[in-house]
């Protein structure tokens, strides 16, 4: 199966147009429907997306050439 970043964007609800390459991604826990999820933010506060777990958030940031940092 070929990797298609567009499919990845749709599956994770990521807005690829909001991402600035080489930016820092701030990953923080958020509550969604009573469950913990992880929001990926840009340095200006723009939300790039929300994913189900911490590892996916960091991996997603790396795929988009971002440097992930955990925020508590």
8-state DSSP, 45: S
Residue 42 has a pLDDT of: 84
List beta partners, residue 33.
Answer: none
Using 50 as the pLDDT threshold, list the residues of the chain that sit under it.
1-11
What is the C-alpha to C-alpha distance for residues 13 and 57, in angstroms, rounded to an integer? 12
Residue 7 has a pLDDT of: 46
Residue 22 has a pLDDT of: 62
Cα 30–chain centre separation? 12
Residue 19 has a pLDDT of: 64
Residue 21: helix, strand or coil by DSSP?
Answer: coil
């Amino acid at each position: 199966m070929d990797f298609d970043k567009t499919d990845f964007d749709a599956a994770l609800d990521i807005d690829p147009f909001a991402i600035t390459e080489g930016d820092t991604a701030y990953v923080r826990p958020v509550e969604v429907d009573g469950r913990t999820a992880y929001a990926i933010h840009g340095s200006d506060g723009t939300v790039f997306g929300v994913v189900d777990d911490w590892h996916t958030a960091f991996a997603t940031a790396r795929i988009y050439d971002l440097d992930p940092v955990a925020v508590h």
